[in-house]
Chains A and B, each alone.
Chain A
Amino acid sequence: MSSRCAAVLLCAVAILVAPSSHVYGQQSEATLLRRIDSLRVELEDATDDIVSVMNRRTTERADERRAATTTFEIGPLRVMAPIEQADLAAEIFESVWREDFHAITGSPSLDRSIFTFEWWRTQPAEVYLVAMTDEPGRVVRRIEISRTWVLTRDALRAHVRDAIWTALRDDFPIGTQMRSWVADTRYVGDEDAYRSLATIGNGASRSCLTGDIQGCSITLRLSSAGPAQLADWFTPPQRQNMVRRATQPWTARVDRLDPAAVSCLDRDDIGACDTVLARIDWVEGVPTATEVLVSALWHAVGVGGEGAWERAIQDPGASPHEVLERASGLSTDSLVTDWRSVLLERRPAVHAGLGKSALVALFWILILAGFAMRSTRWRLA
């Protein structure tokens, strides 16, 4: 493609769109058609030239990208990164895997994933394009992040954690009970889980915090409970919401036109809400936080040790209750008791480091006071 092609294109366009003006008006129709036909060939040639040049450039760019990219493995993770960032990527992935996921084995989702990594500053190298062409069949999970938005390595680690958890989540097929149990959460640390548990804000979760294991089981939606606890643990608006959720089309646990449901939802009759909830396994609809549920799963996998993840995912149709027992090798009650005590131990220290901050502040105050005492203004005065 060159100036020749451009000229031909221009001519063709000019001829095709020009009105039958005084320039061509005097030529015969046959002459014009001949000219147009001959230009059409030139036009097609020029178009082919353009396409081939574009293809060549794309190939060259892809080759450049490929040459600048390297792939390596950390445990079951396959990671692709620009060569100059390979060490950084290896360090980050290695530390995240060692700290948070080392107990995971036999994850089909991880086996079919490739993680593309780049912490770019001015322009991304678009590593994912190489992964898409060179690793067909693998799910590309991108951690290609600008340094403008992610400033620290700790923040970068959090993104890597999320990406690995997102891949692991896919071991529970969409539509299964476990998949809706873990939902679309990000990676959940113990402190996040504690915060979520403390902020759910219903009687069951509060009972869990104060030591009632049944409250914990209800919060985790793991055990059934009678209607008596409904009024103790859930306020009328919360019970009404539980009925509302049960009538949603995707749960379809209660017919929206059921007289009791109508009375509950349309006439705020809380007695009718309790009637509806007494008919169904209301624990399934308990308001809770997904972070808390995921934390229980992680705990079960951690307690279960080697092969726990494989056991957790071996039956896609299993209920959360079965999955947790199978993964941990413990009964639900033991697991929940253990999970609660671990969670309480990990309560975030909200003002941790305040004393150290105060000492640092004192240090700087003394330095600044020293500057003030050595000021030049007096000498000038």
Chain B
Amino acid sequence: MVQPMLLVHWKQARLLLIPFIVAGFGLPLLAVQGFGGVGDDRAVSMEAYRFLTSYQVWLPYFPMLAGAVGGVLALTSWNWDHQLGHVYALSLPVARWEYAMLKMGAGAALVLVPVAALWVGAHVASASVALPEGIRAYPNQLAFRFFAATMISYALFFAMAAGTIRTTVWIVSTVMALVIGGNLLVVVLEPYVPALDDVNVVQTVLGWLLRAGGPFAVFTGNWALIDV
């Protein structure tokens, strides 16, 4: 059962995955570009500080790529079900939870493709530069973080795509309203509810989502390929 799911999903997603595979492989290489080659004396002499500061510029692209890969894989996994009105799914002799789990597993397997590309790219990038003493490369950790972030993104979009459009709109609208209008509401209510004086809704919501324990904490961690 898993194999046909995987095959169908692969057919749906393969063309869209190609740019992500290229990006996953290329991004670490771009991040270390201009840092000299192995055995190059200039690499030893250059200021190691440049490694870290130049790399910072590329940091946001890694979580963005993870988010995009997860989103695309999740949406393509449900695409043909939605187009065919779930007839195929309903005709199968499996419970709906089992079907969703198989489908999710197939997508998770496909996540490994761009993750592997990034892992290889990170290793190639690390090997292509002569790191000064005290500076290290973390290709495995970066690839693992990328995998975790991609899976979170994938699971989120998968869950939303599995529901109705109305449910999705409700969830997204509620979060957006909370982020955009939350503080306005506090300002309006503050004169009547003194306890709200110290409340910052946006900060609280973002903190809950992005800090340790939140669903997106993995996105805000350290994405360093090269560090001390």
Which A residues lie at the B interface, using CB under 8 A?
121, 147, 151-152, 194-195, 197-201, 205-206, 209-210, 235, 237-238, 347-348, 350-351, 353-354, 356-358, 360-361, 364-365, 368-369, 371-378, 380-381
| Interface of chain B, main secondary structure | helix
Least CB distance from A376 to B in Å reads 6
Asked if B89 CB lies within 8 Å of chain A CBs, one says yes
The residues of A that contact B217 with a CB separation of less than 8 Å are 357, 360-361
Contact call A361/B152, Cβ cutoff below 8 A? yes
Q: Are A377 and B158 in contact (CB under 8 A)?
A: no
CB-defined contacts of B97 to chain A, threshold 8 Å = 373-374
- A196's nearest neighbour on chain B, judged by CB, is B49
Residues of B within 8 A of A373 (CB): 96-97, 100-101, 162
Residue of B nearest to A194 (CB): B228
Contact A351 B138 (CB under 8 A): yes
Q: Tell whether, in the assembled complex, residue B218 and residue A357 are in contact, meaning their CB atoms are under 8 Å apart.
A: yes
Question: Which residues of chain B are near A353, meaning CB under 8 Å?
Answer: 212, 221
List the 4 closest A-B pairs by CB distance, nearest first. Answer: A198-B134, A235-B45, A368-B155, A373-B97
CB-defined contacts of B104 to chain A, threshold 8 Å: 369, 372
Select the residue from A205, A237, A361 with max chain B CB neighbours within 10 A: A361
Given contacts A378-B96, A381-B85, contact A350 B228 (CB under 8 A): yes
Interface residue SS majority, chain A: helix
Number of A-B contacts (CB under 8 A): 145
Q: Are A376 and B167 in contact (CB under 8 A)?
A: yes
Q: List B contacts of A371 (CB < 8 A).
A: 159, 162-163
Smallest beta-carbon distance A291→chain B, Å: 11
Could you tell me which residues of chain B, from 186 to 227, have a CB within 8 Å of some CB in chain A?
198, 200, 203, 207, 212-215, 217-218, 221-222, 224, 227
Q: Shortest CB–CB separation between residue A201 and chain B, in angstroms?
A: 4
Q: Any chain A CB within 8 A of the CB of B11? A: no
State in angstroms the CA–CA spacing of A87 and B152 once bound together.
40
- Is B133's CB under 8 angstroms from A360's CB? no
Which chain B residues border A205 with CB–CB below 8 Å?
Answer: 134
Assess whether B164 is interfacial by the CB under 8 Å rule: yes
**Measured between C-beta atoms, what is the minimum distance from A86 to chain B in Å?**
14
B51 and A199 form a contact (CB under 8 A) = yes
Task: Check if B90 sits within 8 Å of A357, measured CB to CB.
Answer: no
